[in-house]
Structure 1
Amino acid sequence: MLDAVSESKAPAGSQPTRSSAQTRRVAAIDIGTNSTHLLVASVDTTLGTFSIEQAEKSTTRLGERDPDSGELTPAGMQRGYETLRRFRDLAISHDVEQIVTAATSAVREAPNGREFLQSIQDGLGMDVDLVSGPEEARLIYLGVLSGMSFGDRPHLLLDIGGGSTELILADGRDARALTSTRVGAVRLQRDFVKDDPIPPQRRSFLQAFIQGSLEPAVDKVHRRIKPGEIPVLVATSGTAMAIGALAASEDDRPPLKLHGYRVSRQRLDRVVEKLVTMTPEQRRDLSPINDRRAEIIVPGALILQTTMQMLGVDELVLSERALREGLIVDWMLRHGLLEDRFSFQSSIRQRTVIHQVQRFAVNQRRAERVATHALSLYDATEGLMHQDDGQGRELLWAAAMLHACGQHINLSAYHKHSWYLIRHGELLGYSEAEHLMVAAIARYHRRSLPKKRHESWQALVTRDNRRRVSEMALLLRLAAALDRRPEPVVASLRVNTTPDVLDLVLVPERLNQNLSLEQWSLESCAEVVREASGVKLRVSVQG
């Protein structure tokens, strides 16, 4: 799977036909609160660039959830399902090699959101990833960065969605702050707007609510701005583009494209004042606004206006690129097709794991030793201990680095606490499914094998994911069994395999070093290895 998204391969018989060896086609689908978007991109592997071949949008309104239960409604799920069917078929008709798909706040928050995604997987064969708020913010950053030069100045990126608003402080090298707040155009319209036009008192309440909601995010980015820096505010999303189009209509010669168009705070205020006093019917008559946008643009405009005031900036720049382009960039990063200004982002998985290692006070040197042994076992036991296609290797490394993070809570049952900490921690660059697998691999590296009643096992919804966790956890169990002392005593492992035997030879750090403790520890894993894989484990020490 991809850094922050799942991938769905085209069915057999529809393999991509590329115009040249330098071109690869990929599709991205963004399942939002109000709309679902499709992009089909042509990736130039030589230049490390991409161009959009086709863009489609459908107003699926998943954010119109049941007012009592908060669940996605049957009508909304049906709209979403049919849209995804069309988008999948359209993407396949373009001979894309992969479809990367992500769902955001509406599905993320709904109690039946995962059931909806399971129905998509069962019915359409598409694995949809459920991205977290910070991960959504990171993808937005990648998307904006792909179409805008940041130069030497920091940028504040503002994306107003239907269910959440992302505010990011970033430069051309990395994102300094990723925030996601549960305030969006659809959410505010649904929860607070009963009369339209909005009465003055209700408008004041909405502005106060927006300000209170966004204060933690604004405070966070303010703290990360260095003295003397003047950030550039970049606004993206349907709300920002619609307001930008209204502002641009005042120009004598409106721009042909809104990407890069600048809107002053004074002009924004004029547009917002105009929108707030209009009825939905009057707003529908405005050419840049479609019927659905006319219903939700006022709450979205108030978010934009209030955020601009809170940040103390006098101008914003519009970006047509956002999360869906970020999905394309993320795919390119995972496939080694981008370097230069994206090179730092390509290590996001490693950096976020190390951050958690430090946060949970894990002994990093010992964790790295375990990870090294685990990867050696992975590489040497393909076909015997695992049938993995390569995706599990990174998950195994992450789990090995974090497997002991629960020790400071409870030493005897630390594997369970490690699962909880990893599961509820922040792993940027990992999909929701991958995040769950990392946590479960750490959970099952010791004590009992997985059981159906375990919450950590039930969270793994597909058979392939459970198989991968079982195989990687067994390798981690062996690697962790070697970690018996504070200082290293095992220099390396020599691995020999036959169809049903795993023969491990321990190579000591020093000649004639006593490794009886490590040998005993590994041999104690033999019964579990046999039960889980049918493989006989033999352990010896190099003489």
Structure 2
Amino acid sequence: GDNYAPRSLSSTKIGAVRLTAEFIATDPINERELQFLQAYVRGMLERPIEDIQAHLKPGEIPRLVGTSGTIETLAALHAKEKLGIVPNPLNGYQFTRKDLKEMVKRLASMTTIERVAIPGLSERRAEIIVAGGLVLLEAMTLLGIESLMVGERALREGVIVDWMLSQGLIEDRLRYQGQVRQRSAIAVAQKYHVNLESSQRVGNFALSLFDQTKGSLHNWNQRERELLWVAAILHNCGLYVSHSAHHKHSYYLIRYGELLGFTDVEIQVIANLARYHRKNTPKKKHENYNLLPNKEYRMMVKQLSALLRLAVALDRRQIGAISQLQCEYRPNIRELNLSLTPAIPNDKCTLELWNLDYKKGVFEEEYGVKVTATLT
């Protein structure tokens, strides 16, 4: 589906419990039973998958999101093997079809007792994990999808949201999800006694810089824009622990806190952005930075944290001294001019300009531009 309406809905009776009971009699499952089970699953999935493919637009590649017990268990096993830890929450965790194929093959070669010995795999789940993994593998193969994302919200949450809609408690499913994220960020800020007036000004400056430099200095999108805003709201939460190295405390409070509605990777990004709003720039030797999934996320943190530093500088006294920010990029000389309007006409904003000059070096190095600032 997309936006508000599903394009195709189907329910197929190939649950892991049913398949295990009806098709698996050997332990470990022998090759004949495994092939028969695989053929049966494929036959049951062909028609609903053809219906899904019939609703795809030309050139459109579907995105697969998996929920509930078997998929979350497979994701946890994969994370434990690849990362050494299981992310909490698992929401947003991804693994590939290739990795799934290897997991199913390995699990199928083991007896139930051997699977039970795997940390995190309960006795009941160990009995049905082979059939459940095979269903997922065949679905990904038939759809031609190379990776899956875990979604921790499932039928129960959907029933609750639908009930809230029917009772007029919320107006819009998608808007409600966005509101959950925003409300959660504000709630965490309040929990750690963040100066919300100042952090919201920093957030506004960050978004203004983001919007005015998009297309000229960066090409990040709405998702990254929202993560930047949340990081701006929470960048100083570490002051709750100590003023000394508070940017590092901010990282831990965000990373292992109670942000709702975000994937684990998104929380990692937010925490890293807050971590690098001051002092050292991101470095591979920093464990928190190195744990980001790939180069794209590391680049995201480098570029957006440099932008956040400028936003923080613009509210250095935390009194709202700067009321307006206008950016002018001059590509011929690689210069970004910040035109700043003081809230009080005679205020020279000396501290803000000094802090901006002090912090702009990171931004200049990251984007390859010279930053200048003038009061209007």
Give the counterpart letter for 2:10 in structure 1: Q
What residue in structure 2 maps to residue 480 of structure 1?
A: 312
Query: What secondary structure sits across from 1:110 in the alignment?
Result: helix
Q: Does residue 367 of structure 1 match 2:334?
A: no
Q: 2:340 aligns with which of 491, 495, 506?
A: 506
Please report the TM-score for the alignment, with normalisation by the length of structure 1: 0.47
What residue in structure 2 maps to residue 22 of structure 1?
A: none
Give the counterpart letter for 2:169 in structure 1: R
Q: 2:56 aligns with which of 86, 95, 112?
A: 95
Shift of 1:355: 1.0
Residues 173, 342 of structure 1: 8 Å contact kept: no
Task: State the alpha-carbon separation in 2 of the partners of residues 415 and 403 from structure 1.
Answer: 7
What residue in structure 1 maps to residue 169 of structure 2?
A: 173
Shift of 1:358: 1.0
Aligned in 2, Cα 1:411/1:120: closer, same or farther, shift over 3 Å?
farther
What residue in structure 1 maps to residue 246 of structure 2?
A: 414
Shift of 1:100: 4.4
Task: State the alpha-carbon separation in 1 of the partners of residues 319 and 98 from structure 2.
Answer: 47
What residue in structure 1 maps to residue 355 of structure 2?
A: 521
- Provide the identity percentage: 33
Q: Does residue 143 of structure 1 match 2:151?
A: no
Shift of 1:398: 0.7
Give the counterpart letter for 1:173 in structure 2: L
Task: State the alpha-carbon separation in 1 of the partners of residues 13 and 298 from structure 2.
Answer: 34
What residue in structure 2 maps to residue 432 of structure 1?
A: 264
Residues 173, 341 of structure 1: 8 Å contact kept: no
Give the counterpart letter for 2:79 in structure 1: N
Q: Map residues 1-20 of structure 1 onto 2, 5 A cutoff.
A: none
Q: How many residues align?
A: 292
Give the counterpart letter for 1:525 in structure 2: K
Residues 189, 237 of structure 2: 8 Å contact kept: yes
Instruction: Determine which structure has the larger helix proportion and give its number.
Output: 2
What residue in structure 2 maps to residue 383 of structure 1?
A: 215
Shift of 1:55: 3.3
Task: State the alpha-carbon separation in 1 of the partners of residues 305 and 244 from structure 2.
Answer: 18
Q: Does residue 462 of structure 1 match 2:294?
A: yes
Give the counterpart letter for 1:533 in structure 2: Y
Task: State the alpha-carbon separation in 1 of the partners of residues 218 and 149 from structure 2.
Answer: 25
What residue in structure 1 maps to residue 133 of structure 2?
A: none
What residue in structure 1 maps to residue 373 of structure 2?
A: 539
Shift of 1:457: 1.4
Task: State the alpha-carbon separation in 1 of the partners of residues 179 and 81 from structure 2.
Answer: 29
Shift of 1:443: 1.4
Shift of 1:397: 0.7
Give the counterpart letter for 2:358 in structure 1: S
Task: State the alpha-carbon separation in 1 of the partners of residues 359 and 288 from structure 2.
Answer: 22
Q: 1:530 aligns with which of 334, 355, 364?
A: 364
Task: State the alpha-carbon separation in 2 of the partners of residues 122 and 540 from structure 1.
Answer: 54
Deviations 1:31-79 (A, max 9, x none): xxxxxxxxxxxx7xxxx55474333465569xxxxxxxxxxxxxxxxx9
What residue in structure 2 maps to residue 348 of structure 1?
A: 180
Query: What secondary structure sits across from 1:53 in the alignment?
Result: coil
Identify which range, 105-114 or 484-493, moves more after superposition. Answer: 105-114
Aligned in 2, Cα 1:151/1:541: closer, same or farther, shift over 3 Å?
closer
Residues 107, 130 of structure 1: 8 Å contact kept: no
Give the counterpart letter for 1:95 in structure 2: L
Aligned in 2, Cα 1:426/1:531: closer, same or farther, shift over 3 Å?
same
Task: State the alpha-carbon separation in 2 of the partners of residues 455 and 429 from structure 1.
Answer: 25
Task: State the alpha-carbon separation in 2 of the partners of residues 149 and 397 from structure 1.
Answer: 28
Deviations 1:12-47 (A, max 9, x none): xxxxxxxxxxxxx35xxxxxxxxxxxxxxxx7xxxx
Deviations 1:127-168 (A, max 9, x none): 54445xxx53xx54441146658866xxxxxxxxxxxxxxxx
Shift of 1:538: 1.1
Q: Map residues 309-324 of structure 1 onto 2, 5 A cutoff.
A: none
Shift of 1:431: 1.7
Task: State the alpha-carbon separation in 1 of the partners of residues 222 and 166 from structure 2.
Answer: 37
Task: State the alpha-carbon separation in 1 of the partners of residues 67 and 324 from structure 2.
Answer: 43
Aligned in 2, Cα 1:423/1:140: closer, same or farther, shift over 3 Å?
farther
Q: 1:451 aligns with which of 283, 286, 292?
A: 283
Give the counterpart letter for 2:312 in structure 1: A
Q: Does residue 110 of structure 1 match 2:106?
A: no
Task: State the alpha-carbon separation in 2 of the partners of residues 55 and 410 from structure 1.
Answer: 53
Aligned in 2, Cα 1:389/1:89: closer, same or farther, shift over 3 Å?
farther
Residues 374, 400 of structure 1: 8 Å contact kept: yes
Shift of 1:468: 2.0
Deviations 1:391-417 (A, max 9, x none): 211111111111111112122311111
Gaps of 5+ in 2: 18-36, 83-92, 101-143
Task: State the alpha-carbon separation in 1 of the partners of residues 226 and 311 from structure 2.
Answer: 15
Residues 129, 433 of structure 1: 8 Å contact kept: no
What residue in structure 1 maps to residue 10 of structure 2?
A: 54
Residues 107, 114 of structure 1: 8 Å contact kept: no
Give the counterpart letter for 1:144 in structure 2: V
Task: State the alpha-carbon separation in 1 of the partners of residues 201 and 166 from structure 2.
Answer: 40
Residues 442, 473 of structure 1: 8 Å contact kept: yes
Task: State the alpha-carbon separation in 2 of the partners of residues 341 and 388 from structure 1.
Answer: 25
Query: What secondary structure sits across from 1:428 in the alignment?
Result: coil
Deviations 1:280-307 (A, max 9, x none): xxxxxxxxxxxxxxxxxxxxxxxxxxxx
